[in-house]
Structure 1
Amino acid sequence: MNLLDWFNKGLTYEEYKGQMKMNLSEMNAIYEQFEVNDERLSALTGVASKVIVLTEDWCGDALMNNPILMRIAEKLGLDVRFVLRDSNLELMDQYLTNGTARSIPIFIFIDDEGNEKAVWGPRAAEAQSMVDSWRSELPAKEAEDFEEKQKAMFRKIKQTYAEDTDLWNAVANSIIAKLENVR
């Protein structure tokens, strides 16, 4: 299946939100609060025309990154479709993180013919650094309190993603920088 076929198979943003069972309120809040006002965007018109988003509603990174992408896509006039990772592993396995991980979200920017122009995801460097730092504080997996501490870390990540506007801007900058590299 070529990328245009995957795009055509995807859900619109409204359809994606309509099937969500987790993280919808957080995602909507970010979408409502975030504004992308980057003068660099005007130079990016025409870099791509469509975006395939590999995602799932349970993903914490998706709850922050997807609405930020939507704001950028609106400014650039990009058509966005959401493809659920877990039921589309054939596509997901073409975009593994570090060659092994099915990490999401992954944003695949394509032109009208379905040619890949850029790929972004699953995290901006600033978010990755934060997550890596918090993971380094976890006890060993064999420790009695590992699961409890890991769940607390996941709650902390989700809260930070939902509230940290500086991190939102870092994500937007990362996506924009990736698109700038296409030119």
Structure 2
Amino acid sequence: MTLNEWFAKGITPEAYIENMSQHKENLQHVYEQFNLPDDARLEVAGNSPRVIVLTEDWCGDAMVNVPILLHIAEKTNMDVSMLLRDSNLELMDQYLTNGKSRSIPIFIFIDEDGNEVATWGPRASEVQARVDALFSKLPAKDAPDYGEKWKETLSSLTQIFREDENVWDEVYESIMKTLMK
């Protein structure tokens, strides 16, 4: 399928959010609390850009990245089409992280002709550094308390993504840097 066909296959952000069963409140919280910078430069490269979002509602990264993208899309009149990763592996497998991982979200920016203009995801590099630091504190996987510590770490990460405005700003800057190329 072409990227235009993938775009047409997707659903609206509103339909995606309405059908969320996990992280819905967290995503809505980030959306409601995040504000684009007053001096936001929202010129976007390419002609009439659109974006395909590969995501799943259980994903903490999507919970923080998608609402920031939606703000950018609203201000630039960018159409957004949401595709669930697990139902669209043929497309997902073309956008693997480090050539092997189905990490999400992935934002595929396309022009009006369906040509890829840019891709972004699954995390801003500054956010990745924070995540790496947090997970580096986990005990070895065979440690008796690994499962408990893993859950605690995920809970901490969700809270950081939900509340830390610096994370939101880093995501915004990273997406915009990609779009300005």
Indicate whether the TM-score tops 0.5. Answer: yes
Which has the higher mean CA deviation after the structures are superposed, 121-130 or 32-41? 32-41
| Displacement of 1:43 | 3.0
Other structure's SS at 1:102 match: coil
Bigger mean CA offset, 34-43 vs 10-19: 34-43
The corresponding residue for 1:30 is 30
Offset of residue 134 of structure 1: 1.0
Shift of 1:48: 4.8
Q: How far did 1:144 drift?
A: 0.7
Shift, 1:39, TM fit: 3.8
Unaligned runs of 5+ in 1: none
TM-score between the two structures when normalised by the length of structure 1: 0.95
Kindly indicate whether the alpha-carbon contact (under 8 Å) linking 2:43 and 2:76 is maintained by their aligned counterparts in 1. no
Q: Structure 2 regions of 5+ residues with no counterpart?
A: none
The runs of 4+ residues in structure 1 deviating greater than 4 Å are: 45-48
Alpha-carbon distance, 1:166 to partner:
0.9
Q: Is the 8 A contact 1:47 1:179 kept in 2?
A: no
How has the CA–CA distance of structure 1 residues 45 and 74 changed in structure 2, closer, same or farther, with 3 Å as cutoff?
Answer: farther
**Which SS does the other structure have where 1:131 is aligned?**
helix
User: 1:115-168, CA deviations, whole angstroms, 9 ceiling, x for partnerless residues?
Assistant: 000000000111100110011111111111111101100000000000001110
Residue 107 of structure 2 is aligned to residue 122 of structure 1: no
- The CA distance in 1 between the partners of 2:41 and 2:94, in whole Å, is 28
Shift of 1:41: 2.7
Q: Confirm or deny that 1:170 pairs with 2:170.
A: yes
Q: Percent identity?
A: 52
The answer to whether the 8 Å contact 1:96/1:102 transfers is yes
Report the CA distance between 1:33 and its aligned residue. 1.1
CA distances 1:76-105 after superposition (whole Å, capped 9, x unpaired)? 110001000001100000000000000000
The 1-side partners of 2:18 and 2:68 are apart by 18
Trace 1:88-167 onto structure 2 (pairs within 5 A).
Answer: 88-167=88-167
**Whole-angstrom distance in 2 between the partners of 1:131 and 1:61:** 10
Q: Following TM superposition, by how much is the alpha carbon of 1:169 offset from its aligned partner in structure 2, in angstroms? A: 0.5
State whether structure 2 residue 145 is matched by structure 1 residue 180: no
Number of aligned residue pairs: give it.
Answer: 181
> 3-state SS of the aligned residue for 2:41?
helix
Tell me the SS of whatever aligns to 2:43: helix
**Within 5 A, what are the aligned runs for 1:19-58?**
19-37=19-37, 39=39, 41-44=41-44, 46=46, 48-58=48-58
Kept in 2, the 8 Å contact 1:3–1:115? The answer is: yes
Root mean square deviation of aligned Cα: 1.2
Q: TM-score, normalised by structure 2?
A: 0.96
Report SS of the residue matched to 1:43: coil
Partner SS, residue 139 of structure 2? coil
